[in-house]
Copies of this chain bind each other. A is one copy, B any other.
Amino acid sequence: MPHTYETNGAEIYLRSFATIRAEANLARFTPEEEIVAVRMIHAAGMVGLEEHVEFTPDMALAARAALESGAPILCDAYMVSEGITRPRLPADNQVICTLRDPSVPDLAKEMQNTRSAAALELWRPHLDGAVVAIGNAPTALFHLLNMLEDPACPRPAAIIGCPVGFIGAAESKEALMAAPPVPAMIVRGRLGGSAITVAAVNALASRKE
């Protein structure tokens, strides 16, 4: 007997988002933030994730405005850049991941840092006004914060800081929110990752659910 199941993609989205809004505790978010939090919960399959989501007051609007005016999206991993739904982007925005640039391994050795951190040095020409999406490496977020300590470093419009894991992830996100150099959002603690980060970008790119 073949399995029967919901096969209508639009209906699946609709019922998923309705379930999330019925179960999750979204009251503290602004309407713009709520759209982002709902989509992150959806990607994680986890009601409760919202308890760990923090925005600076202006972040959701700043990121949306930047994307609408054509900002590039700078990603620390290909799982992030590949996940971004191109038809949702409001201005055919460039999606950039520099991790596989041939110069990165040598640069990482020279910097005595990870390839994920070294790859950010190649973001400099694109960084001004960009939306940053860090969904994998704590070292990338820490290195970005150190880059931005130089007042001559170009400023992104907003930072989605959602690295994941057990060593440095919580600490890098706390460091970002302790002194946000630009509008920012995080998932506090160990949780994070590419799917959640992609969901935030996709939500900020279009209000369409």
Contacts and interface: CB of A to CB of B under 8 A. Distances in A.
Interface of A: 1-3, 5-9, 12, 15-16, 19-20, 42-46, 77-79, 82-83, 111-115, 117, 138-139, 142, 145-146, 149, 164-169, 171-172, 175, 189-195, 198
Given A16-B167, A45-B192, A5 B79 contact: no
A134 B8 CA distance: 18
Total identical chains:
2
19 contacts: A5-B171, A6-B167, A7-B139, A8-B112, A9-B114, A12-B138, A15-B167, A16-B167, A42-B165, A44-B164, A45-B191, A45-B192, A46-B191, A78-B83, A79-B79, A79-B82, A164-B195, A194-B194, A194-B195
B168 A6 contact: yes
B146 A2 contact: yes
| Best-buried of A7, A43, A194 by chain B (most CB within 10 Å) | A7
Contacts of A8: 112, 114
A164 B43 contact: yes
